[in-house]
Amino acid sequence: MTPSRRFTLALIVVAACSGKAPSDDTDRDAGTADAGFDASSNGTDADVDAATPTACSCSSDGHDVLDCDGNVFDACTADEGCSAVTLGCIDDPCAAAATLKTSIGCEFYPTLMDIVDGSGCFAAIVTNTSGRPVSIAVERGGTSLPVESFARVVTGTGPSPTYTAYVASEGLAVGASAVLFLVDGTGGQACPMGLSAATGETFSGTRIGDAFHVTTDFPVAVQQVNPYGGRDSMFAGAALLLPTSSWDTDYLLATGYSENGGMHPSLDLIAMADDTVVTIRPRVAIEAGIGVAATNTGTPLTITLERGEVLQITQAADLSGSRVEASKPIGHMAGHVCMTVPVGVLYCEHAEQMIPPLGALGTELVGVMHSPRAGESSVWRILAAEDNTVLSYTPPIAGAPTSVEGGQFIEFTTATPFVVRSGADHPILMLSYMVGDMNAVGLGGADVTVVPPVAQYLSRYTFFAEPMYPETGLVVVRARRGGVFEPVVLDCEGALGDWHALGTDYEWTRTKLSTGDFAAVDGCQNGRHEASSDGPFGLWVWAWGAPASAPGTGSSVGYPAGMGVRPIYSLE
């Protein structure tokens, strides 16, 4: 049971559109808690003079100021960004990106999580989303690291992509991505081609350690992977990272999955400022670790973290559903040393995902699994923040629980796409799992991705698909806007097709970037990509090994291509 708390819709106030408050270029019904997108509205108010365009919101990538119909009102220059506060282009793109509360930003903390056999090649991938070359800086434990020695610009695809030097004086070029080889540990997959890493230091067990601190002078997208290496990496996990501008002080804790034969779930909490007091209210007992005291179920654990420090907890008892509050904004990673899904089904895989703050969770989510590898279903886990959370599904899902208490979670298995609603003031967190190699021998192992709520869908995504996975697929869900479903355009393929209705307000499709032995699909391949629409949509990346491209076919990863992290709810 959790203390009774009332959630109210938090609106980002904009200075136009007669009080309507969209916080990005999505069509949001601001009158109900996380109602998603109003299918009966086109994003304007009746008393706005359609003949007089007005600045009303920012595009989700911060490149444009939009009017109340979602049209470009003012295009920012490459040295500017759209501010959600001023509703105009400002000459500080990083400050502008911070106001948008998305997965794009200028400050990130890649965090080495606990993994079976010790860390292999732990890497962060930085993708330039801006119109200017980007300068990258990295530090750990307050010590600046020589970026040129471990950063490489990556191009090409397949088992042997091309790596070229990152030149600090030139920066990361427009449209480019760079791999930061941060740790080359003694276990697992080594960094490719003998490339040097920033350190050989690893981090395991329950303890306090240090994250890497990555900053840029223009907005970027960042993901982390451990180990880096695609099909050959065996135990890989990957995560979309959220910038510190999207962090907050209140979270519903999650781990990767349940304990599996001595392989434990884990979680990390990261501080961005000194003297950050973190208090965990655990739903299970916390075991002692290095610098971490044991606590009983329900007994708060309070720890003070300094800037860049990480509290990692790895143990058999799953802390998912516990609450954490901090005196200053923190980041939260969910992980697993090597999970099997369902428990005991081979093969195990490392898992890691970055979890959005409690205030960014929603009450309407769409679940569509990855492309089935051999007729399998997916496992879904839903965590509730509030007691008496009632769940409804469209269409009905056989065996899916219809209620869950605060601090608890439920699971069900289905291959059927669905919409789940939890009702006003009852936000939920949902995770989608690729099951182990149960029916699809040699087609990847277990993995997990966060499912952002509909209210956090974006209309523009810039993402990177690791080049060394032979099978890479995308899942796309679009929401009806202004009574219509807007086309979704993928840079390499054009307008996506094969849409399937999901109720009246959503449609979904899947497409692939590569298949078989790294074969291109519809002109697409792995690497950097952009996807866009005039309406809101969600986008997820899944990748796995394939028998046509041995060895190491047990590896798989999944992550959102991006997400909004806007405050939907605030605690009273």
Q: How far is Cα 179 from Cα 169, in angstroms, rounded to an integer?
A: 17
Which tops the pLDDT comparison, 423 or 307? 307
Residue the block writes with tokens 């209140």? 250
113 CB-side CA count, 13 A? 35
pLDDT for 5 equals 41
Nearest to 35 by CA among 569, 571, 572: 569
pLDDT for 10 equals 37
pLDDT for 441 equals 63
pLDDT for 444 equals 81
pLDDT for 285 equals 98
Nearest to 391 by CA among 431, 364, 421: 421
pLDDT tens for 305-323 read 999 999 999 999 999 999 9
Share of residues in the chain with pLDDT > 90 (%): 76
Tell me the one-letter amino acid at 412: F
Question: Is the predicted pLDDT of residue 370 greater than 60, yes or no?
Answer: yes
11-26: average pLDDT: 35
Q: How far apart are the first and last CA of the chain?
A: 19
pLDDT for 550 equals 66
Average pLDDT over the chain reads: 89
Q: Provide the β-strand partners of residue 312.
A: 207, 268
pLDDT for 159 equals 83
pLDDT tens for 90-103 read 999 999 999 999 99
The highest-confidence range among 31-45, 174-188, 482-496, by mean pLDDT, is: 482-496
pLDDT for 14 equals 33
Q: How confident is the model at residue 4 (pLDDT cuts 50, 70, 90)?
A: very low
Task: List phi, psi (to 5°) of 324.
Answer: -135, 140
Q: How far is Cα 459 from Cα 471, in angstroms, rounded to an integer?
A: 25
Question: Is the predicted pLDDT of residue 3 greater than 70, yes or no?
Answer: no
pLDDT for 186 equals 63
pLDDT tens for 455-466 read 999 999 999 999
pLDDT for 233 equals 75
Q: How far is Cα 137 from Cα 152, in angstroms, rounded to an integer?
A: 13
473-484: average pLDDT: 96
Question: Is the predicted pLDDT of residue 120 greater than 90, yes or no?
Answer: no
Strands (E), 340-451: 349-354, 364-367, 378-384, 389-390, 392-394, 403-404, 409-414, 418-421, 428-434, 447-451
107-118: average pLDDT: 92
The DSSP secondary-structure symbol of 338 reads E
7-24: average pLDDT: 35
Question: Is the predicted pLDDT of residue 30 greater than 90, yes or no?
Answer: no
pLDDT for 158 equals 83
pLDDT for 564 equals 98
Cis geometry, peptide bond prior to residue 395 (ω within 30 degrees of 0): yes
pLDDT tens for 146-180 read 999 999 999 998 888 999 999 999 999 999 999 99
Q: How confident is the model at residue 41 (pLDDT cuts 50, 70, 90)?
A: very low
Q: How confident is the model at residue 442 (pLDDT cuts 50, 70, 90)?
A: confident
pLDDT for 374 equals 85
Q: How confident is the model at residue 189 (pLDDT cuts 50, 70, 90)?
A: confident
The highest-confidence range among 157-171, 358-372, 544-558, by mean pLDDT, is: 358-372
pLDDT for 37 equals 33
The lowest-confidence range among 2-11, 17-26, 313-322 is 17-26
